[in-house]
C-alpha cells in the first residue's frame, strides 16, 4: 500500500506522533489555521471527521495549504466517502467499524486506512485479510487498556490507534502498551478555543500532547 508520508518519515501514520487529533470542522475557513497550530505543536497527523458539511472542504484546504500536515478523513462509512476523501487529498482513512464492502473500497483506494474494531473476532478477521493496523473504538467503552493488553499476547501482529473517551490523563496508559502506536483524541481542541479561534492555545495543548511518551 502506498505510504502517505515522505521517504524520511516513519512508514506508518501510527508512528508520526503519540496523538492523532480528531477534528470536527464546522467552518472550513478554520481548517488551515487549525491545522497549522496542530502541526506547529508537533501533531502532524490530523483526522478530520466526516460529521459536518464542511469536512471535505476542510480536508481539501489542509491538503493544499498545509504541506507539513498529514491530513486524513475520519468517520468514513461508505465507498462514496472513500472516493470523495481520496479526491479531496486525504492521506489516510479512518472508520469506526468495517464491512467487507467498506474494507474493499478502502483497500482499492490506495490510501492507507485504519478500520475500526472492538472485538477479538474483528481483529482476527482483519489479520486474515492482511490488515495489521486498526482503530480500536470506542476504546474506553470497549474495554480500554485491559482489553488491549489481553490482545497483545495472542495477536502481537496487530497494532492499534485507540480512540474514544481518551484524555491526557489516560493516554499515557494506552501509549505504554506494546500494541499501541498512537491514540486519537480531541482534548487539545477545546470548543471554546476553537470558537474563539485561539490558535495559540491549541498549539500549546498540541505541544503537551506531542510530548507524551509512547513507552513508560
Q: Is 149 a catalytic residue?
A: no
Q: Where are the alpha helices (DSSP H) in 5-143?
A: 31-40, 55-65, 79-88, 100-109, 120-128
The SS3 call for residue 146 is helix
Question: What is the rounded CA–CA span in Å between residue 161 and residue 100?
Answer: 21
Q: Is 191 a catalytic residue?
A: no
Q: Where are the alpha helices (DSSP H) in the chain?
A: 31-40, 55-65, 79-88, 100-109, 120-128, 144-152, 171-175, 191-195, 199-210
Copy the grid coordinates of residue 100.
Answer: 467487507
- Taking Cα atoms as reference points, which of 70, 62, 80, 37 lies closest to residue 206? 37
Active-site entry in 128, 133, 135, 191: 135
Query: Cell 467487507 identifies what position?
Result: 100
Task: Cite the active site residues.
Answer: 47, 135
Amino acid at each position: 500500500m502506498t505510504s502517505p508520508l515522505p521517504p524520511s518519515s516513519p512508514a506508518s501514520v501510527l508512528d508520526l506522533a503519540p496523538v492523532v487529533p480528531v477534528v470536527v470542522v464546522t467552518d472550513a475557513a478554520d481548517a488551515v489555521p487549525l491545522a497549522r497550530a496542530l502541526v506547529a505543536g508537533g501533531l502532524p497527523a490530523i483526522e478530520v471527521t466526516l460529521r459536518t458539511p464542511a469536512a471535505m472542504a476542510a480536508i481539501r484546504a489542509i491538503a493544499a495549504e498545509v504541506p507539513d500536515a498529514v491530513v486524513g478523513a475520519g468517520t468514513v462509512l461508505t465507498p462514496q466517502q472513500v472516493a470523495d476523501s481520496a479526491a479531496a487529498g486525504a492521506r489516510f482513512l479512518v472508520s469506526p467499524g468495517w464491512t467487507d464492502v467498506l474494507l474493499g473500497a478502502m483497500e482499492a483506494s490506495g490510501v492507507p486506512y485504519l478500520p475500526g474494531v472492538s472485538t477479538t473476532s474483528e481483529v482476527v478477521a482483519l489479520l486474515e485479510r492482511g490488515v495489521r493496523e486498526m482503530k480500536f473504538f470506542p476504546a474506553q467503552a470497549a474495554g480500554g487498556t485491559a482489553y488491549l493488553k489481553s490482545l497483545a499476547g495472542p495477536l502481537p501482529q496487530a497494532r492499534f490507534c485507540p480512540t474514544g473517551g481518551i484524555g491526557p490523563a489516560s493516554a499515557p496508559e494506552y501509549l505504554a502498551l506494546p500494541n499501541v502506536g498512537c491514540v486519537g483524541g480531541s482534548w487539545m481542541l477545546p470548543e471554546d478555543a476553537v470558537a474563539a479561534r485561539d490558535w495559540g492555545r491549541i498549539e500549546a495543548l498540541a505541544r503537551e500532547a506531542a510530548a507524551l511518551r509512547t513507552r513508560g
